[in-house]
Amino acid sequence: MRFRSRLERVSVPSAVAIGNFDGFHAGHRRILETLVRKARRQGLCAVVLAFHPHPRAFFGQPIQLISTDAQRLEALKQLALDRLFFIDFAAVASLPPFAFVRTVLLDALRLKALVVGDDFRFGCGRAGDLDSLARLAAAEGFALERVPGVEIDGARVTSSRIRKLLAAGAVDQAGRLLARPYFIDGVVVRGVGRGRQLGFPTMNIASANAILPSGVFRTRLDIAGRGHPSLTNIGRAPTFTDPQRPLRVESHVPGFRGQVYGRNVRLHFIDKIRDEREFASAAELVEQIRRDISSLGI
C-alpha cells in the first residue's frame, strides 16, 4: 500500500471509496471490503480517500470522535488497499459536487468505479446526494455501487449511534456495532498514589481519545503487546476529591508489579460493571473494589 497525506495523480485507473471512517465500524468494513473485491475483480487500483480533521470539526461544529486520526490510519492501513490518501479536508471543503468529482475523482484518481454507502453526501455543504452522483456517473462514464448499511439489533450501524452508546457507558453494545471492543490509547502518568494506599495500585492513563465513558468497567489493558485483564474507573473519585475535577482514567491490573510510567498502552472496554459513586468511607470503597475485581473472573 502507498500512503499519501496529499492528493496526487495515480498512474492507473482506480476504484475509490470515500469517507471519514470514524470508529471504522461494521458498516465501514462492508464498504471497504466491497471496494477491494470490486477492484480485484476489475483489475483496478483500490483507493481510499479519507479526510482530517472531520468535516464537522473543520466547520467548528461540536463532535466527540470515536477514533483519533492515528487510530483511523492504523485501521485503514491494515486493509488490502493499493493507495490510501489521508488528506487535509481544507483542500476539498469548498469544492461544489461536480468540481469534486471532476478534479479529485476523475482527474487525480482516474476513477472508473466509485463505492459508497447508501447515505453518502459530497461536495461543499454536502450538496451532492446519491441521485446527483448517479447522474454524474452516467455522464462521466464511471460505475457507481451503493453499499447498503449494516443493521444490528434492528437499527442501522452509524458512527453517531456508537458515539451515543459510548457517552452512555454502553461499551458492550458499542462494541457489537464496531465489531470489536472500543479502545482508547494513552500514556501512563503519575497519579496521587491513592489506589496504592488502598491496596489496589492503578495506572493513570492520559489519553487523546475524545470519548471517555464514565463508570467502572471490565477492561483489557495492552502493555508492550501483552493483554492484561483489568478493572478501570473513569471518573472524578468523589469519595476523596472535588467532584468537579476533570475525568481521570485509572486502571488496576491484579497482580501486576511492573513499572510502566511513560509507556504507551491501549485500553479495551469489555462491559460496564457499575456507575461511579461516592462512598461513606475508604473501607466501604475497598469492599466494593474487591467485589468489582471478583467480577473479572481471574
For residue 52, the domain's CATH number is 3.40.50.620
Whether the predicted pLDDT of 82 surpasses 90: yes
Within a domain: 165: no
CATH number of residue 289's parent domain:
2.40.30.30
Domain that holds residue 272: 182-294
Q: Residue 150 — very low, low, confident or very high, per pLDDT cuts 50/70/90?
A: very high
φ and ψ at residue 148, rounded to 5 degrees: -65, 150
Whether the predicted pLDDT of 253 surpasses 70: yes
What's the full length of the chain, in residues? 298
pLDDT at 58: 95
Q: Residue 246 — very low, low, confident or very high, per pLDDT cuts 50/70/90?
A: confident
pLDDT at 63: 95
CA distance 264 to 160: 28
124 lies in the same domain as 191: no
pTM: 0.92
Within a domain: 14: yes
Q: Residue 52 — very low, low, confident or very high, per pLDDT cuts 50/70/90?
A: very high
CB 65 within 8 A of CB 103: no
Within a domain: 161: no
Please give the mean pLDDT across all residues of the chain: 94
pLDDT at 238: 74
Report the share of the chain in percent with pLDDT over 70: 97
pLDDT at 261: 94
CA distance 93 to 237: 43
pLDDT at 188: 97
CB 203 within 8 A of CB 189: no
Give the number of domains in the chain.
Answer: 2
Within a domain: 173: no
pLDDT at 197: 73
φ and ψ at residue 51, rounded to 5 degrees: -130, 155
CA distance 298 to 181: 19
pLDDT at 244: 61
Q: Residue 169 — very low, low, confident or very high, per pLDDT cuts 50/70/90?
A: very high
Q: Residue 194 — very low, low, confident or very high, per pLDDT cuts 50/70/90?
A: confident
